[in-house]
Structure 1
Amino acid sequence: MLINDKVAVVTGAAGGIGAAVARRLLEAGARGVLLTDLDGARLDTTVRELAAEHGERVAGRAADAAATEDLRALVALAEERFGPVDLYFANAGIGGGAGLDASEEEWSRALDVNVMAHVRAAKLLVPGWVERGEGYFFTTASAAGLLTQIGSATYSVSKHAAVAFAEWLSVTYGDQGVRVSCLCPQGVETELLMAGTRSADPTERAAARAVLDSGELLQPLDVADRVVEAVADERFLVLPHPQVLDFYRHKGTDYDRWLRGMRRYQKAVR
């Protein structure tokens, strides 16, 4: 899909990958980009910075990307300011190092933000895209959605589910004009990852270290470049870290060997 003259919504856009994607969309000629995030103060700063360069093609609204009513309001605002939404970037996500000790609330929140936020957004947008014959749903998952995250059950399970939902969307609606991509990065210098290195929880620190030790730490704008390329190519799986594909192939070739290797790696980072 061509980004030029298209309207996009980007969640989790106060900083990190979301803010970088919004910037690249604007630079690629998007007619309008609506940024949203729970952190209203940080979001306002990002919107002001982008508006200084791109004027009225930028808008922002603090919202919970997992709340249906907030999503309705975001879509309505984007349509009012720019026109019908063409691209939706489900980028908001939460981490955490919770395992079997995770509370019901921690499981619910991880699934709500990392999975159900995507489902609710798709329910609002996909029927209209099918009617128009065109639309783009871009999921930010994680390499953990393909390979599992050492330390965090809530993150691994929810990111696997995010990948699965993106696959289902593509299978179900791909022949009706709905394009789907799924971003599965490894180490990216974002607050979500770096917070894990400062955590008082040893499980969260181990999870962050496992990511940092497994490959190159990319900058958000580097990842955003891969995102824009994927949209242009209408490519489903987006892997900014090429080694993730190698790991994924090894996993599929010999699952038991891969599990043994992951257990060894887990001991090394703890």
Structure 2
Amino acid sequence: MKMRFSLLFVFVIFVGIYSYNFSEAREPVCSKFSYEEQLLEKMIRTEIKVETMVNENKKTEDNVISTLGDIKQTVSYFTDMFADMRENITDDMLKRGDELERREDSFKKLFEETKSNLTSDIAAKKEELIQLQEKLAQPPVAFYAHHLKDMFLDTTDEILIFGKTFTNEGTGYDTSTGLFTAPVGGLYKFDVHICTIHNKYAYLGLVLDGNVIALHAHYGDASHGCGSVGAIIRVRSGEKVWVKATTYHSSYQLHQDSLRMNTFSGVLVNY
């Protein structure tokens, strides 16, 4: 700045001297004193002009510096503002990102639980369907036997053997032994129908693997009479069911003819 001022001052002095010499060439010179007085006056005026120009330049420079300062402050303000905005936006984006990650983890966990539950349910339903298919594939089980081989109940725990069958689905009943062997496990219904000769007694029991599950007592008074007993019970595969005399005596006797029939039947009602 000082260098510019010095150059400007020299330029102004040079212009003043040149102007003075030019004017001096046209103006008459009265005396040496007058010449010096005029030269001094011109130098003073030139100095005042130079000082005025310097002051104006100084004001201009101050204005420029002030304007630059304002611009710098403005730029700084907007820079800080944008930095704050960027920081806020970044924080908000991070928060949103964390929230999205938490939701994603929660969704994945829920999806895995639902998938696991569905897989278990599907496996259970599949097993049920397989069991149902197996049951449907199994043949029906039912028997209906008749025609007693022995009418006298004179032996301890004598098994009543019905020697013929009308129905024997599943071949569970054996006409040679009087035993029914369950080919499949399930819920069965059994019925026993017996007839006694007149004035004779009959005491019978329906037996499941050695355990009496139903009892029947009948007396044929003045004529031949008939009676029935039955039970609904769950039987496991391979278990046996039969009819036996619970007590015995020489007077205990059954009867059958064209009007009366002794029967033993059973049917699988549900697996």
TM bracket, shorter-chain basis: under 0.3
Structure having the higher helix fraction is 1
Structure showing greater radius of gyration is: 2
Normalising by structure 1, report the TM-score: 0.23
Structure having the higher strand fraction is 2
